A and B are shown apart, each in its own frame.
Chain A
């Protein structure tokens, strides 16, 4: 590799500073917009949201599913990479980054579903009076178990010697795998919904989680790199790209199998009376062409901007897939005359997220970014202090 001149270094750092400033500005806008949405949600309850009784779950629940999927995928890829010594993710510093990133995806997701509750103040009943037979309870417990495991692993990662760190990381990966499957089981277990009641969903949600998690890992590595060259040379990027490519190929294969079986056996879901859509996101061409095919092409290029674009497209495309699954299965479509029987805006088969719902979505995104950036700053601060104190940073 050629040595960079000091002028090139200066240009790169200037570019990095500008990127940083643009990022901070974007984050401030997201946070402000989100804060207004949160205020409206707390002030007016669910008045400004569009979900109702026949489509009870909307954007926030989809974001929750996406968040937990990303968290699981990040930890599965990063955690297993650490355990098996994959290049550039085998250090404890990288493990800590993985932990922070997975929590940065999980916590906003949980806030999203919390804001969706009709009685938020009773959320603790999931622990105090649980129906463990409900997949919702099971998943909630698994998220809690994972958070405890991740925090404990993070704490142990600062110790020089810890014989429990690797078992804890392995256990965390198992829990992640189970709750990634649990997202699909959540739908598959509802036997009265023709679209949901299929054994393929747990498999698809696992693959989707792994792919979206790898995409976010790649995004974080590319954005964290000082220059495009650094990102291209980064072995961590290579790992994330390989996992993402594999995940997307399997995801496409599963989507094809699902389509073939559903049509071959005439199991296409009962059509809903009104459009149930979020424009673009719920379109199959967006989810598969722009969310999978195009990223696969972009990933094969040796350009960091292409990988960033691919990661964002995958995150959006797979989110569209989750949103679609969530929305289309909900209405009691076998009784199409219901909305006309007793009329109210909450008693319709259609749903479109409102501005307030998107604002809260922006808040969740800003929260995720803040947790990741803040967590990494804490990681670096502690590492610097340990280095200064002469204790050495455990690798």
Chain B
């Protein structure tokens, strides 16, 4: 018994229909650029920077970056491209940025947006210790975005790769697709797991129970209140650095920038040729991490 001509035609018809339907869906998917991000005039923010302090030269770089941020927010979102530059010569490896980020975003154990790696290089006696803070690279060609099966992560018009915690199914495919290990999964751990909330203060509870309640408070990533109570998102989701988008919206620099005691982290709009970061990246021939992957990160390193 073999396939008759009629069987073959029907098989071809079934296969062709399925292939055409999948191709059409893929084509429609490829065209999708609208993820509901606001754009245009509604994204312009009339912010200001310390009106009582006139610009001066030289100036604390935090103030300079604050002025750059204010200026960038006067333009619509699609005209900005946020970037970061990290001067490894100035980084002292204090991890203040890591901890500041944990506190700002109320990150649970096992979730980290900005670890600082330490590497010893050279041979004795010419030894050298290098610190490398590693935020999300906010790649221009992010390899984490196309693998998401449900469009829970995408690139905003200002270059920041963002997440929809309400949509993420927790498959962790994006974690495997990031060469920088910049995404971590929230497995629902808590620093104060096992400690009873509401117990009165005593010698064994020096924070008087406040630490526990701190973890129960919502984080405000992406400008929303995310409560981890009752297994709510972002528990079970992939999480990542977003350059403190919620702070940028109100004219505040990312917390890793303001908490850096060595002033080693620079931040600003890479589309603004007069911004401190843009001038620095150009002048110091700043480099990207693992450039051979072609992700084209928006984070630069100065060594």
Q: Are A and B subunits of one complex?
A: yes
Binds A, one of B46-54, B59-67, B182-190, B249-257: B182-190
**11 intermolecular pairs with C-beta atoms under 8 Å apart:** A56-B175, A56-B185, A118-B236, A120-B170, A122-B168, A131-B146, A167-B11, A193-B179, A331-B181, A341-B116, A342-B115
Binds B, one of A138-146, A218-226, A299-307, A354-362: A138-146
Query: Cα distance A36–B119 when bound, in Å?
Result: 44
* Beyond A118-B171, A133-B26, A346-B187, 6 additional pairs, beta carbon < 8 A: A46-B187, A47-B188, A116-B172, A126-B149, A129-B167, A137-B149
**B-to-A contact residues, CB < 8 Å:** 1-4, 6-8, 10-11, 13-15, 18, 22, 25-26, 28-30, 98, 109-112, 115-119, 132, 134, 143, 146-152, 167-173, 175-181, 183-189, 231, 233, 235-238, 290, 293-295
The answer to whether A145 and B10 touch across the interface, beta carbons within 8 angstroms, is no
A130 partner residues in chain B, CB cutoff 8 A:
25, 29, 149-151
Q: Judge if A43 is at the interface, Cβ distance under 8 Å.
A: no
The answer to whether B14 and A134 touch across the interface, beta carbons within 8 angstroms, is no
B180 partner residues in chain A, CB cutoff 8 A:
332, 335
**B179: contacting residue among A45, A83, A332, CB under 8 A:** A332
* Nearest residue, chain A, Cβ from B98: A342
B167 partner residues in chain A, CB cutoff 8 A:
122, 125, 129
Q: Judge if A54 is at the interface, Cβ distance under 8 Å.
A: yes
B117 partner residues in chain A, CB cutoff 8 A:
335, 337-338, 340-341
A123 partner residues in chain B, CB cutoff 8 A:
169
The answer to whether B110 and A346 touch across the interface, beta carbons within 8 angstroms, is yes
Query: Cα distance A126–B151 when bound, in Å?
Result: 9
A160 partner residues in chain B, CB cutoff 8 A:
none
The answer to whether B30 and A47 touch across the interface, beta carbons within 8 angstroms, is no
The answer to whether B143 and A341 touch across the interface, beta carbons within 8 angstroms, is no
CB distance from B163 to the nearest CB of A (A): 12
B168 partner residues in chain A, CB cutoff 8 A:
118-119, 122
Binds B, one of A10-18, A168-176, A261-269: A168-176
**A133: contacting residue among B10, B30, B173, CB under 8 A:** B30
Query: Cα distance A131–B164 when bound, in Å?
Result: 14
A135 partner residues in chain B, CB cutoff 8 A:
147
Query: Cα distance A132–B231 when bound, in Å?
Result: 29
B13 partner residues in chain A, CB cutoff 8 A:
167
A85 partner residues in chain B, CB cutoff 8 A:
1-2
CB distance from B199 to the nearest CB of A (A): 23
A126-B150, A335-B134 given as contacts; is B110 within 8 A of A166 (CB)? Answer: no
Query: Cα distance A217–B132 when bound, in Å?
Result: 53
* Nearest residue, chain B, Cβ from A122: B169
* Nearest residue, chain B, Cβ from A326: B176
Query: Cα distance A193–B181 when bound, in Å?
Result: 11
The answer to whether A132 and B178 touch across the interface, beta carbons within 8 angstroms, is no
The residue among A46, A85, A168, A330 with the most chain B CB atoms within 10 A of its own CB is: A46
Q: Judge if A1 is at the interface, Cβ distance under 8 Å.
A: no
The answer to whether B233 and A119 touch across the interface, beta carbons within 8 angstroms, is yes
Query: Cα distance A140–B10 when bound, in Å?
Result: 24
Residues of chain A in range 147-176 having any CB-CB distance to chain B below 8 Å: 163-164, 166-168, 170-171, 174-175
The answer to whether B29 and A338 touch across the interface, beta carbons within 8 angstroms, is no
Classify the secondary structure of B's interface with A. loop
The answer to whether B25 and A192 touch across the interface, beta carbons within 8 angstroms, is no
CB distance from B76 to the nearest CB of A (A): 27
The answer to whether A54 and B11 touch across the interface, beta carbons within 8 angstroms, is no
A347 partner residues in chain B, CB cutoff 8 A:
110, 112, 184
A192-B143, A332-B178 given as contacts; is B149 within 8 A of A118 (CB)? Answer: no
The answer to whether A57 and B236 touch across the interface, beta carbons within 8 angstroms, is no
* Nearest residue, chain A, Cβ from B144: A192
**B178: contacting residue among A133, A167, A192, A337, CB under 8 A:** A192
The residue among B7, B28, B235 with the most chain A CB atoms within 10 A of its own CB is: B7
Query: Cα distance A133–B23 when bound, in Å?
Result: 10
The answer to whether A129 and B110 touch across the interface, beta carbons within 8 angstroms, is no
* Nearest residue, chain B, Cβ from A344: B110
Query: Cα distance A53–B4 when bound, in Å?
Result: 52
Query: Cα distance A347–B22 when bound, in Å?
Result: 37
Name the 8 nearest CB pairs between A and B, nearest first.
A118-B170, A118-B236, A332-B181, A167-B10, A341-B115, A56-B172, A337-B117, A346-B110
Q: Judge if A277 is at the interface, Cβ distance under 8 Å.
A: no
Query: Cα distance A131–B22 when bound, in Å?
Result: 11
A140 partner residues in chain B, CB cutoff 8 A:
149
Query: Cα distance A346–B149 when bound, in Å?
Result: 23
Q: Judge if A353 is at the interface, Cβ distance under 8 Å.
A: no
Query: Cα distance A364–B168 when bound, in Å?
Result: 25
Q: Judge if A29 is at the interface, Cβ distance under 8 Å.
A: no
A191-B293, A342-B98 given as contacts; is B115 within 8 A of A119 (CB)? Answer: no
The answer to whether A335 and B293 touch across the interface, beta carbons within 8 angstroms, is no
The residue among A84, A117, A131, A141 with the most chain B CB atoms within 10 A of its own CB is: A131
The answer to whether B109 and A175 touch across the interface, beta carbons within 8 angstroms, is no
Q: Judge if A190 is at the interface, Cβ distance under 8 Å.
A: yes
A56-B176, A334-B179, A346-B187 given as contacts; is B169 within 8 A of A118 (CB)? Answer: yes
The residue among A84, A163, A344 with the most chain B CB atoms within 10 A of its own CB is: A344
CB distance from B210 to the nearest CB of A (A): 23
The answer to whether B115 and A338 touch across the interface, beta carbons within 8 angstroms, is yes
A125-B169, A170-B3, A346-B187 given as contacts; is B294 within 8 A of A131 (CB)? Answer: no
**A52: contacting residue among B110, B151, B177, B188, CB under 8 A:** B110
The answer to whether A84 and B29 touch across the interface, beta carbons within 8 angstroms, is no
**B173: contacting residue among A120, A136, A167, CB under 8 A:** A136
CB distance from A47 to the nearest CB of B (A): 7
The answer to whether A190 and B143 touch across the interface, beta carbons within 8 angstroms, is yes
* Nearest residue, chain A, Cβ from B239: A53
B231 partner residues in chain A, CB cutoff 8 A:
45
Q: Judge if A387 is at the interface, Cβ distance under 8 Å.
A: no
The answer to whether A136 and B147 touch across the interface, beta carbons within 8 angstroms, is yes
Q: Judge if A345 is at the interface, Cβ distance under 8 Å.
A: yes
Per-residue interface assignment for chain A, residues 36 to 63, with 1 indicating a CB less than 8 Å from any chain B CB and 0 otherwise = 0000000001110000111011000000
CB distance from A324 to the nearest CB of B (A): 15
The answer to whether A57 and B295 touch across the interface, beta carbons within 8 angstroms, is no
**A167: contacting residue among B14, B111, B183, B295, CB under 8 A:** B14
